[in-house]
């Protein structure tokens, strides 16, 4: 038996795997790397102690922020292009009091097409898993989230990727800015969302160039106070505007193919599928947990 852990900044997800590496049990809590109440060893033992005592666990494999500078053991980064096999070879073992082999995966580092440095930790497991599920050696993958990842895969390798802070920016603007003060409804409204997507795309087309995001953002407030946008629509409209900006930015960075593999849970997949469709891009949806578990099989 083995345990695989997806240890993020704000969450802890552990999976108990049988001899065939199939998931037979799972645990999740809010004990992310940046919110620990005790040591890493104590947190792991508290969450998975019963598994460790009763199932003859041979190894615990940690992915994500456990290998970061603030994690249990800093593991550095695999350099792109990188395959699953090459990535596994860069993993490090932790000397620990639990008397079990604990292995920490590294992150992945690349220069994005912009020439800026970029990094990821944990998402690469899902990426390798999605590639295996898709039965393809080439793909263009999007992982929505606080920091959305757009990844180009070639010959089974992570070739390049770019991170966009759309999710974090949306949270900051919708909660703490002068625009956030206007929000009265946080339910997703498809019509308002698509209007935001359309307005951002049309503004770019009218100027024959990409509209500056800070200009677009202030227009949300201006539309609302001038009564051309209902306060109940601000939340979804803002989401559409920011997501359209993200996709347009990615199109400027990459030679985006007609199909995007979207690794996501149900909540985030809906707006991304709607926005990508409005850009004429087909979507192949893969569940993020399924992708992680498939990726772990390649990395253990």
281-300: pLDDT as tens digits: 999 999 999 999 999 999 98
How confident is the model at residue 204, as a pLDDT? 57
When the pLDDT of each residue in the chain is averaged and rounded to a whole number, the result is: 93
How confident is the model at residue 174, as a pLDDT? 94
How confident is the model at residue 205, as a pLDDT? 53
Domains of the chain: 2-111 (3.30.420.300), 166-285 (3.30.420.310)
Quote the percentage of the chain above a pLDDT of 90: 85
DSSP SS3 for 37? coil
How confident is the model at residue 206, as a pLDDT? 47
How confident is the model at residue 129, as a pLDDT? 96
How confident is the model at residue 3, as a pLDDT? 97
User: If you write DSSP's letter for every residue of 250-281 in order, what string do you get?
Assistant: HHHHS---SEEEEEE-HHHHHHHHHHHHHTT-
How confident is the model at residue 210, as a pLDDT? 60
How confident is the model at residue 22, as a pLDDT? 95
**Dihedral pair phi/psi, residue 225, rounded to 5°:** -70, -20
pTM for the model:
0.92
What's the rounded mean pLDDT across residues 52-80?
Answer: 94
What's the rounded mean pLDDT across residues 68-83?
Answer: 96
pLDDT band (50, 70, 90) for residue 23: very high
**Dihedral pair phi/psi, residue 94, rounded to 5°:** -105, 130
Contacts of 140 (CB under 8 A, 6+ apart): 150, 151, 152, 153, 254, 256, 257, 259, 260, 261
Return left, alpha or beta for 145; rule: phi > 0 is left, psi -120 to 50 is alpha, else beta.
left
Highest mean pLDDT among 95-104, 195-204, 238-247: 238-247
With the CA atoms of 220, 225, 230 and 231 taken in that order, what torsion angle do they form, in degrees rounded to the nearest 10?
A: 80
The tokens for 109 are 């580092």
243-282: pLDDT as tens digits: 999 999 999 999 888 899 999 988 889 999 999 999 999 9
**Dihedral pair phi/psi, residue 120, rounded to 5°:** -145, 155
110-145: pLDDT as tens digits: 999 999 999 999 999 999 999 999 988 889 999 999
d(CA 80, CA 191): 40
pLDDT at 183 over 70: yes
Greatest Cα pair distance, the chain, in angstroms, is 66
187-214: pLDDT as tens digits: 999 999 999 999 998 875 544 456 678 8
């Amino acid at each position: 038996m083995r345990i695989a852990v997806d240890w993020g900044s704000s969450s802890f997800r552990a999976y108990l795997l049988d001899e065939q590496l199939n998931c037979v049990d799972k645990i999740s809590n809010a004990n992310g790397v940046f919110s620990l109440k005790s040591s890493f060893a104590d947190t792991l033992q508290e969450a998975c102690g019963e598994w460790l005592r009763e199932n003859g666990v041979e190894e615990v494999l940690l992915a994500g922020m456990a290998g970061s500078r603030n994690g249990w053991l800093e593991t550095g980064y695999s350099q792109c292009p990188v395959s699953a096999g090459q990535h596994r070879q860069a993993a490090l073992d932790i000397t620990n009091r639990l008397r079990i082999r604990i292995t920490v995966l590294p992150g992945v580092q690349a220069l994005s097409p912009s020439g800026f440095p970029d990094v990821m930790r944990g998402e690469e497991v899902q990426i390798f898993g999605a590639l295996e599920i898709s039965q393809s050696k080439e793909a263009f993958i999007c992982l929505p989230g606080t920091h959305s990842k757009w990844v180009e895969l070639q010959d089974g390798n992570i070739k390049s990727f770019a991170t966009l802070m759309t999710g974090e920016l949306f949270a900051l603007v919708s909660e703490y800015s002068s625009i956030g003060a206007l929000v009265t409804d946080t339910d997703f409204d498809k019509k308002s969302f698509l209007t935001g997507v359309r307005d951002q795309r049309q503004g770019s087309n009218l100027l024959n160039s990409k509209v500056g995001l800070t200009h677009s953002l202030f227009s949300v407030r201006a539309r609302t106070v001038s009564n051309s946008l209902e306060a109940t629509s601000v939340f979804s409209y803002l989401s559409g505007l920011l997501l359209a900006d993200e996709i347009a930015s990615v199109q400027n960075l990459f030679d985006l193919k007609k199909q995007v593999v979207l690794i996501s849970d149900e909540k985030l997949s809906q707006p991304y599928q709607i926005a990508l469709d409005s850009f004429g891009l087909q979507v192949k949806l893969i569940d993020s947990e399924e992708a992680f578990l498939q990726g772990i099989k390649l990395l253990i």
